[in-house]
Amino acid sequence: MLLTRYGFREWFIITAIAAVLLFVAGYFELYWLAIAAFVVWLALASFFRDPLFRKPATDNACDLVSPADGLVSAIIEVPQHPATDGMPATIVRIYLSVFDVHINRAPCACTVEALDHTAGKYLDVRIEESAAVNEHMLMRCKTTTSGIAFGVKQIAGKVARVIVNPQKQGNTLARGERYGMIKFGSTTELIFPTNAVESIAVTKGQRVKGGVTVLLRMRA
């Protein structure tokens, strides 16, 4: 288990603060302060954990894995979506709590076509409206194998207000590769053309693991 590079600034700050508190606690023999500082540091540092050795639970190139750890909060179809060039789309929405790993991963081998950032509200992500009106980053991609246009969307929430996505147009990503994170949890969506979906492998309420759990299979 490592700490993600996307959180260097935050965990450096909390480590410095914890070190000062531990020094004060040791100097004045305030052992309760030392314990409290360590517990808070551990909790905050865990937000930026980055599990190693994750491998997709499939060898089929047509399988798309989860872009995030969390709970499948919705599986819906919409008549059109920018990520699918205005075509009907199937959306698998994943809710990330503050206890989940916050790293986002590519669902399949793909090329980044564009990044669309939209300012918005910071509603609680458990409110359905939040997926449409909250600040978000839509990364539009094309699959490496067949050039299908799809997207992954990082959505900010009431607590999570920092979306990190350093990708640029033309970047290539392997299935399961890290591409960014949402700091302190929120929502991530996989958006795929409905006519290119062969089957959906998850159900609402199911827990998924980023880069591992298969969400759907695209048509060969």
Q: Which secondary-structure segment (H or E) carries 16?
A: helix 8-27
The gap between the terminal CA atoms of the chain, to the nearest Å, is 35
R_g (Cα) of the chain, nearest Å = 19
Cα separation of 145 and 142, whole Å? 9
Show the 3-state SS of 143-188. Answer: ECCCCCEEEEEEECCCCCCEEECCCCCCCEECCCCEEEEEECCEEE
Q: How far is CA 87 from the centre of its chain?
A: 24
In eight-state DSSP terms, residue 209 is: -
Q: Give the active site residue among 66, 97, 186, 199.
A: 186
Residue 175 tokens, joined = 């299935």
Q: Which of 189, 206, 197, 204 is nearest to 67 (CA)?
A: 189
| β-strand partners of 183 | 162
73 catalytic per annotation: no
Active-site positions read 186
